[in-house]
Structure 1
Amino acid sequence: MSWLFLFIAGLMEIVGIIAMKKLVSTGKKIFLLAIAVQFMLSFGFLSLAMQGISMGTAYAVWTGIGAAGGVIVGVIFFKEQTSFFKFFFLFLVIFSSVGLKFLS
């Protein structure tokens, strides 16, 4: 169950990043509320995940999900620039997160 909580925490992190991008691009203050809610949910699920997963592993995987998800969402929905190296290092982040899961 801890890994499910960690995955949900990572998804909430991605949604928070999307809300942050929308705040910057539109200036609508409603996105501040969305950011606060999403990051509170993200931290809440992260704390639940840490009850069964070591802190270092949980934090590394959580940040990996958020970083990888942010890059993927940026490329797909916000038409951000892509390159071989961007996807190479994205693969390393994902591969490292999966490796940490198998080690714990």
Structure 2
Amino acid sequence: MHWIYLIGAIIFEVLGTLSIKQTTLSNNNYWVGAVVVFYVISFSLLTFAVKKIEIGTAYAIWAGFGTATITILGWLIFKEMMSVQKIIAISLIILGTIMLKLQHT
């Protein structure tokens, strides 16, 4: 169950970060509220996750998958640049987080 909390924390962190981008693209205060709500949910779920997962492992996976997902979604949604260097970096992030997960199986 703790891994499900971590996955949820990652999803809400990504939603929060996407909402930050939306605040810069619109004058709608809805997005500011969305940032706060999504991050509160994300940190709450992360709190539940670290009850069973080591904090270093949980944080690395949360931050790593969040960063990789945001980079990919920035490219797909906001048409941000995607380079070979970014692809290699994302691959290394994913490989590192998989290695951390395998440590706990």
Superposed displacement of residue 18, structure 1:
0.7
Return 5+ residue gaps in structure 1 as ranges.
Answer: none
State the TM-score, normalizing by the size of structure 2.
0.96
Note the 1:17-96 alignment, pairs <5 A. Answer: 17-96=17-96
Share of identical aligned residues, percent?
33
Return 5+ residue gaps in structure 2 as ranges.
Answer: none
Give the total of aligned pairs.
Answer: 104
Secondary structure in 2 aligned to 1:28?
Answer: coil
Superposed displacement of residue 28, structure 1:
1.6
CA contact (8 A) 1:60 1:97 kept: yes
Question: Structure 1 counterpart of 2:7, which letter?
Answer: F
Moved over 6 A (4+): none
Q: Deviations over 1:19-60 (max 9, x none)?
A: 000001113211110000000000001000001100000000
Secondary structure in 2 aligned to 1:61?
Answer: helix
CA contact (8 A) 1:10 1:42 kept: yes
CA RMSD after TM alignment? 0.7
State the TM-score, normalizing by the size of structure 1.
0.97
